[in-house]
Amino acid sequence: MFVVIAYDCTDDKRRLRVAKTLLDYGDRVQYSVFEADLDKTLLKEMMQRLAQIINPQEDSVRIYHICQNCLAKTQFQGQGHLTQQETFFII
């Protein structure tokens, strides 16, 4: 499933840790916005890792699920393209 993750952390160290964690799952498309194409297992793993980093009283992480129909209607102005996850097979 394609997701857009946006975050806002009040603490610089937490903000950096969130960004580094998200790099393990997707691509940064703006300063605090990432795109990722994840299966349910990876999404759950990512959410668990983020929950261990953020302070829920001060920080915010939003995960928006984008359906394939809506994804096809994505529009851009200026630079940008949708995140393309590489497909590979281990034999």
Count of structural domains, the chain: 1
| Token duo for residue 72 | 């096809």
The pLDDT score that the predictor gives to residue 48 is: 97
pLDDT at 81 exceeding the cut of 90: no
pTM, two decimal places? 0.81
Q: Name the average pLDDT for the chain.
A: 88
The CATH number of residue 25's host domain is 3.30.70.240
Any domain includes 85: no
- Domain-located, residue 44: yes
The reported pLDDT for the residue numbered 85 is 57
Distances (CA, A) of 59 to 3, 9, 35, 53: 19, 5, 19, 10
In tens, the pLDDT along 8-50 reads 999 999 999 999 999 999 999 999 999 999 999 999 999 999 9
In a domain, 68, yes or no: yes
Asked if the structure places residue 52 within a domain, the reply is: yes
DSSP 31-53: TTEEEEE--HHHHHHHHHHHHHH
17: containing domain: 2-72
